[in-house]
Structure 1
């Protein structure tokens, strides 16, 4: 007699090589909750930190995708330099995404993952589906950086007040510093400097 708890299927192969397809399971933790973890922080502090980090995480996922889109769509005299720069920035944003998602999980929360859920949480304005002029694309990136920086500065101060040094450190050392540096690089591309002097 089989001890397998799964129900038998008429199409089931007895050799065990057939994958169990189309499975669905119960949700074991709802988004917006935290489970108890021994990390020396109160449940309320961890819940608050997860909410704030998930907000920054959602905006960062949108910024990453904008970087990839504009990396592909770049054009003009500085195409090559901007093509490489935007891809480099996208890679750095991807590293931040992983760091923030892991922080939420470390606190016992659930990191925002589904792109449709990200779209519900973000405050970064939706860009047009088509191709804008290069300065407009760079300006959109700068605006997204500033939104993330405003949110991160506020969140860092508030989680610090709750004693969450780890989240504060990630927001300050990783998110804020990376976004400030990237914003500087982008802003310098919007200075009206002629390519050659007359």
Structure 2
């Protein structure tokens, strides 16, 4: 995996009545911002698989990958809205995502269902690890609500990884 460029730390917060101290919000926004970038990246990589998969399982995988991308879009929105609820700016452009994602680039020459399944399983595993680490970090920082958001995401990502890996057995 290539070195990850850190998301620029938030330097200014909008006024808010939320009862989390600014140092807690700063820590959590940095974590959430990397998640936002990685979520956007994983969504577009999943769409890459959706658009380009070929083979005997085409329709099954085409539909699965589209469902997975839709679920990731919901996570993107949840994470971005949590950032703004904490009084920060959600930085969610493609350029920001490309620079700050924890994920490696998708193999653009992947065509077969198996190639896409392997590529996505690798990325979902890395993303799931990031999400579990974020549960611990945001909880330790004192933001149980964000830790709960990450817990919800973790369950869904683990389920999707199971779906991907189930196709690869046998």
- Where in structure 2 are the equivalents of 1:1-198 lying within 5 Å? 32-33=10-11, 34-173=13-152, 175-192=153-170
Larger Rg computed on CA atoms: 1
Gaps of 5+ in 2: 1-7
- Structure 1 runs of 4+ aligned residues shifted over 4 Å read none
CA contact (8 A) 1:149 1:176 kept: yes
Question: What is the TM-score of this pair, normalised by structure 2?
Answer: 0.89
CA distance in 2, matches of 1:48, 1:142: 29
| Structure 1 position 31, deviation (Å) | 6.2
Q: CA RMSD in A?
A: 1.5
Alignment: residue pair count: 162
Question: What is the TM-score of this pair, normalised by structure 1?
Answer: 0.77
Gaps of 5+ in 1: 1-29, 193-198
User: Which protein is richer in helix relative to its size?
Assistant: 2
Relative contact order, CA 8 A, sep 6+: which one is greater? 2
Q: Residue deviations 1:95-131, cap 9 Å, x none?
A: 0100000000000112121111111101211123333
